[in-house]
Every structure is written in structure tokens, then in C-alpha cells.
Amino acid sequence: MGDVLGEIIHDELLADRVQCLPKAAGGTLDASQAAGILNQMEPGFKTVGAGQAAWSDKADYLVSRLANLLRDSAFTAALPAHNKPHYWSFPIDLSARVNVAGAAFPAGTWATAITYTVPLGCQARIESYGVNVGLDVGGGAYTWNGSLVWRIQVNGTSKYADLDGWSIQRGSIVLPRKTVMNLQEATQITFQYRRAIAWVGGAQDVDHCLVGYTWRPRQQLDGSRASIVYTG
């Protein structure tokens, strides 16, 4: 608390008033330095009696300046909306089954299993994804040898490098893999796949899922995009 008070005094109360004391190592003022600065500020306070400032006057002055400083400050009474779903969230629980031929796709060719667009006036969080291949959904067993490759894109680009072209097991439909994707309104997300290497076992059914939720900003006009108010 002494460091914070010292910084407030240094940055807000001493402008053009006194010769500031050097800051402590690390760029902050400790409590003793803050007290020293208060002593320097005596001539700037309302004087009492023989010209010495009474402590009550100092306190009143400091409180009034701090009040002015805090008038334009904003405080949030809850965690950001995207930390967990709340009572005006809408679930995103998307899944799709596709049948992928055993032949390799032409170079650079991808197919889309899931497409989702964030509704206007909302923002969204995708928090998990997963796939099931082969024996789990029909079409024979599958060895994770790089034959199938996946990617998740945002507005047609690979915004997340770690989600651009993976071929190993990452989650399943029953137990999706955790992730963090925060999306603005009107943003489109696509879950895509391709057969990179020919699969001798023939066509396979492949399941895909994206799981998350949407939320509405508390007030769009004031830009509070991630703030909500809990009443109980």
C-alpha cells in the first residue's frame, strides 16, 4: 500500500510543487519515501497557526486529490464474461460427421466439416474441440500416421498457428481438447480437414466437434466488451 500511495503522490500531487525525491529501485516509491514527500509538501497545504500544516489538513488535502483522481476510474464487479458462461450465454455445441475417401486430396485442398459465425451483437468463446476417426464411428480402424490433417481457421486465415495443420490425436467427441479462442461478432470459424496421404483402408467416417458459448457485452456503447454484472 505504501508503494501505491507513494506513486500516486509522486505522479498526481507533486506536479510543479516540490523537488521530488528519487524513486526506489524498480521504479516505485516505498512508504518511507512517500512520508518524506509528504513532509516536502507542507508549504503547499493550508497553513494553521504559525505557518505549520496540521496533519488533519494534510489528510483532507490528500483525500480530496485522491477523490479527484478516482472519479474517472472504472471498476468491474465481476470476472470477465468469457471466463465462464453466465445467465445470458448461449451454448455453442457443434458436431459434424463426414466420410473421407481413402485417396489423398490434391495439394493445398481442404474440406470444411463445421462452419460457425458469431451472431451480431454477441461475442463467442470456443473452449474445446475434438475428432473421432475410423473404428469409433465406422469405417475401420485408423492409425495416426499423418494420413488425415486438420486445421481451424478464423475468417479464412490461420489465426492460431498451433491449430494450423495437425495430424495426431487431439481430443475426442466425448472428451474434447481444451483451447482458448475469443471471437468478435460476425467472425466466422471453420473446422477443416484433408487427406494428405492415401489411406489403404478406404473411406472413413470422421466426426468433428467445436464446443463453447456466446455472450453479450454489458454495454456495447461504452466499449465494455468483457464486463458483466452479477446480482447474486
Task: Please give the pLDDT value at position 212.
Answer: 95
Residue 42, classed as helix, strand or coil, is helix
Residues 106 and 51 in one domain: no
pLDDT at 117 over 70: yes
Residues 102 and 166 in one domain: yes
d(CA 22, CA 28): 10
**Which residues neighbour 6 within 8 Å (Cβ) at sequence distance 6 or greater?**
28, 29, 30, 31, 33, 34, 37
pLDDT tier at 46, thresholds 50, 70, 90: very low
Residues 42 and 122 in one domain: no
Among residues 207, 208, 200, the alpha carbon closest in space to that of 103 is found at 200
Domain that holds residue 41: 2-70
Indicate whether 209 belongs to any domain. yes
CATH number at residue 194: 2.60.120
Residues 205 and 175 in one domain: yes
Q: Which residue has the cell 485442398?
A: 109
Query: What is the CA 12 to chain-centroid distance, rounded?
Result: 31
Task: Please give the pLDDT value at position 228.
Answer: 47
Task: Answer whether 0.85 is exceeded by the pTM.
Answer: no
User: Which is more confidently placed, 107 or 89?
Assistant: 107
Indicate whether 113 belongs to any domain. yes
Please compute the mean of the pLDDT values over residues 15-40 and round it to a whole number. Answer: 52
Residues 20 and 96 in one domain: no
